[in-house]
Structure 1
Amino acid sequence: MPVNQVVLLTEIGSEAGQLCWQIQAALFFFLLSAVTVCDIRTREIPDCLQFGIAALSLLCFSPENLAGILGAVPYLMTALLFHDGIGGGDVKLVASTGLVLGLPASLGASLLGLSGFIIYGIIRSILKHFTGRRGRSAYPAGPFLSAGAAAVYFMKYGGIFI
């Protein structure tokens, strides 16, 4: 095969790969936005959204991203040990985003999302204390986990995250 044809095939492959990442990114952000809206409104994350996110991992498949599902293990253990804590939807969300991100990025997304969740919870608790409200409140974790996943996706495929 002449050198010019090899270069052309490489460029076409690069353009197709770039289009693949762009489509995956748009769908990933759309589904994460839908997760956020659903979790805020109903305190539940529909399985169809989780499945859609997991299916996105097939769009630009990378075998090493399969390990990303392991990022959900700490959530699963927490859900099993503390029944009033994290919900099954949150566990499935971390597992599905882990398939798209891979394990290192999945852990980074969890760290980022849970940090935001903790800060939000502390601020809400302080405000509740000063307004005189009593009782426990449940806060949806899905929006924070989604924001962490979106931020890390941007960092990973933008060249910032390993």
Structure 2
Amino acid sequence: MPGNLAALLREAAAVFAQVLVPVQAGLFLLLLFAVSVYDIRYREIPDSLQLAIAALTILCFTPGKLLGALGALPYLVVALFFGGIDGIGGGDIKLATATGLVLGLTASLTASMLGLATFTAYGVTCSCIRRFHGQKERNAFPVGPFLAAGAAVAYFTKIGGIIQ
């Protein structure tokens, strides 16, 4: 009988996963969009949005996803050693932690690489254009939308089985 119960629980988990993954995906995208809009507009990311993203972990929880929070360590190191008024802030670190909990470690690192590469390309392009037009002052750009885009891409490549 215990073998039958274990098999029944596995089947129930598979059925729930088919329902919960699309729900988690939709909510994840919605919250990432809200983070992006808010960060562009106000240059900060509300804790409530980050907490909501982290809470999505409950929908498709596995213990291994807790390691995804370690994906925020590079941001913490950069903020501690190179941070300033216009550098990576606490909101970006918390966003990387929250998305890491949903993604897991491998996908979290993938999201960071994608987001930061896109951010760097955008920043360099904007700086070159400004220099070309004779503007020498520096501008701060919000990092949140780029991290959110990287997290969205990593999430869907993970669901598709491309990354673990």
TM-score when scaled to structure 1? 0.92
What's the % identity of the aligned pairs?
56
Partner of 1:151: 153
CA displacement at 1:14 relative to structure 2: 2.5
1:99 offset after TM fit, Å? Answer: 0.3
Measured in 2, the distance between the counterparts of 1:76 and 1:23 equals 30
- The number of equivalent residue pairs is 159
Partner of 1:109: 111
| TM-superposed deviation, 1:10 | 5.9
Give the corresponding residue for 1:18. 18
Could you tell which deviates more after superposition, 81-90 or 142-151?
A: 81-90
Q: Which moved more, 1:58-67 or 1:13-22?
A: 13-22
Evaluate the alpha carbon distance shift between residue 78 and residue 46 of structure 1 in structure 2; reply closer, same or farther with a 3 A threshold. Answer: same
1:127 maps to 2:149: no
Q: Does 1:74 align with 2:74?
A: yes
- 1:27 alignment partner in structure 2: 27
Instruction: State how far apart, in whole Å, the 2-side matches of 1:152 and 1:124 are.
Output: 25
Secondary structure of 2:147's counterpart equals helix
**Alignment deviations for residues 54-98 of structure 1 (CA, whole Å, 9 cap, x no partner):** 111111111000001011111111111223221100000000000
Shift in Å at residue 113 of structure 1?
A: 0.4
Distance in 2 (alpha carbons) for counterparts of 1:7 and 1:57: 24
Q: Would the aligned equivalents of 2:106 and 2:163 in 1 still touch at CA under 8 Å? A: no
State the 1:130 CA deviation.
1.3
8 Å Cα contact 2:112/2:150 also seen in 1: yes
Amino acid at match of 1:16: F
- Counterpart residue identity of residue 40, structure 2: I
Kept after mapping to 1: 8 A contact 2:65/2:105 = yes
Where has structure 1 moved over 2 Å in runs of 4 or more?
6-15
Matched with 1:142 is 144
CA distance in structure 2 between the partners assigned to 1:12 and 1:76 by the alignment: 39
Q: 1:139 to 1:10 in 2, by over 3 A?
A: same
What's the counterpart of residue 161 of structure 1? Answer: 163
Normalized against structure 2, the TM-score is what? 0.91
Q: Deviations over 1:23-72 (max 9, x none)?
A: 11011000000000000001000000000001111111110000010111
What is the RMSD computed on CA atoms of the aligned residues? 1.8
